[in-house]
Amino acid sequence: MVFESKHPLVKHKLALLRDMNTEPKQFRELVNELAVLIGYEAAADLPTREVDVHTPMGTAVEAQLDAKIGLIPILRAGLGMVDPIWDLIPNAEVWHIGMWRDEETLEPVWYYNKLEGTPRIGTAFILDPMLATGGSALATIDVVKQWGVARIKFLALIAAPEGIAAVHAAHPDVAIYTAAIDSHLNDIGYIVPGLGDAGDRQFGTITSSS
């Protein structure tokens, strides 16, 4: 399943995010704002339970979340999506996965895995602004499933058809939520039209070769 947002606010903010003239500060703010909107949509089917709430005028039967959520950002670009979604779901746990992409092979290279012990979460939101080749997504989904989490959602700001196809071929049960599905990957594995390197643009580390 792929959920591509059609919301006008998402499209407006995405246009600003893509702009090559957007400075890192505004870029980070836009990542934050888009993550809230995508996270809101990804949380739409979380289970709830009925509770009695005593108001000044009586008792209301309302719903509260009945699920333990884990936020799993793929370092480093995924960090920018954590705090806004954590604000939406303040009782969520945050676990970190670190990998970088080998620019020659386009394969993910692990350098950090904080998943340990028996998971207490029932649903994992994997966070990464870009779903490009799908290599990092597949590696992370594999390790999260091995950890013992059965329900996984992948949240991205921009996705390429190649990455979506790779995830669905290996993990058809993983839902993908994104602000946009772009055209294709270029010969160096970047999304077109995309927005460049999301990590570099967030952290101000763009070089002449980026």
DSSP code of 152? E
CB 132 within 8 A of CB 103: no
**Residue 140 above 80 pLDDT?**
yes
What is the pLDDT averaged over residues 119-146? 93
Does this model's pTM top 0.85? My answer is: yes
Query: What is the pLDDT, as a whole number, of residue 166?
Result: 96
Q: pLDDT, tens digit, for every residue of 60-97?
A: 999 999 989 999 999 888 999 999 999 999 999 998 88
Cβ-in-10-Å burial (0-12, 13-18, 19+) of 140 comes to: buried
CA distance 150 to 164: 19
Q: In the chain, what percentage of residues exceed pLDDT 70?
A: 96
Say how far apart CA 202 and CA 23 lie, in whole Å.
Answer: 9
Closest CA to 140 of 78, 80, 198: 78
- Extract the tokens encoding 114: 């904080």
Beta carbons within 8 Å of 79's beta carbon, 6+ residues apart: 73, 202
Please state the separation of Cα 20 from the chain's center in Å.
Answer: 22
Q: At what angle do helices 24-42 and 8-18 cross, to 10 degrees?
A: 150
60 beta partners = 53
- Domains of the chain in start order, with CATH, are 2-53+60-203 (3.40.50.2020)
Q: What pLDDT band is residue 115 in, cutting at 50, 70 and 90?
A: confident
Average pLDDT on 112-136 reads: 90
Positions marked catalytic: 101, 105, 197, 200
Q: How far apart are CA 172 and CA 152, in angstroms?
A: 11
pLDDT digits (tens, 9 = 90+) for 9-24: 999 999 999 999 999 9
